[in-house]
Amino acid sequence: MKLLVYVLNNDDLLDDLLQSFMKSGIKGATIIESMGMARVLTSHNNENIPLIGSLKLLLSGGCPFNKTIFVALKDEQVNTCIMAIKEVVGSLNEPDSGILFTLPIDYIEGFE
């Protein structure tokens, strides 16, 4: 078992992402609002953040929060879930596309 964690920077894509999960047989996910370190520092008017980064965050507008998505998966579902994410957001190597990683699950209850 694995816990897939994906931080979605563009929350306008959330509904499409969840639909992609459903089409791929991924039946459940937990979504929480989160905020990256740069956004927190910028929101506190921290003088240590580089000027260009501050301007980019200021001008980007929109929602200051990301969506962090947690999905418990059987090992054989991991690649399917990753493909469902990439189908919606494209390459994760592009700027502001988010971050994706998995962690091993040693114990779980309440999962089919």
Separation between Cα atoms, residue 59 and residue 40, nearest integer Å:
15
Quick one: tokens of 10? 């563009």
Q: Is residue 44 part of a domain?
A: no
Q: Is residue 52 part of a domain?
A: no
Quick one: tokens of 99? 């971050």
Cβ-contact 88, 20 below 8 angstroms: yes
Q: What is the band of 79 on the pLDDT scale with cuts at 50, 70, 90?
A: very high
Q: Is residue 95 part of a domain?
A: yes
> Which residues constitute the domain of residue 77?
2-35+65-104
43 pLDDT above the threshold of 80: no
49 pLDDT above the threshold of 60: no
User: Tell me, what's the pLDDT at 88?
Assistant: 97
Q: Is residue 6 part of a domain?
A: yes
Residue 103: exposure state from Cβ atoms within 10 A (0-12, 13-18, ≥19):
exposed
E strands along 1-112, which residues? 2-8, 30-34, 66-73, 99-104
Q: What is the band of 98 on the pLDDT scale with cuts at 50, 70, 90?
A: very high
User: Tell me, what's the pLDDT at 39?
Assistant: 66
93 pLDDT above the threshold of 60: yes
Q: What is the band of 35 on the pLDDT scale with cuts at 50, 70, 90?
A: confident
Quick one: tokens of 83? 């493909």
Q: Is residue 9 part of a domain?
A: yes
Region 60-88 average pLDDT: 90
Q: Is residue 110 part of a domain?
A: no
Q: What's at 93, amino acid-wise?
A: N
Region 97-111 average pLDDT: 94
Q: Is residue 46 part of a domain?
A: no
Q: What percent of the chain has pLDDT over 70?
A: 76
Q: How many structural domains are present in the chain?
A: 1
Residue 51: exposure state from Cβ atoms within 10 A (0-12, 13-18, ≥19):
exposed
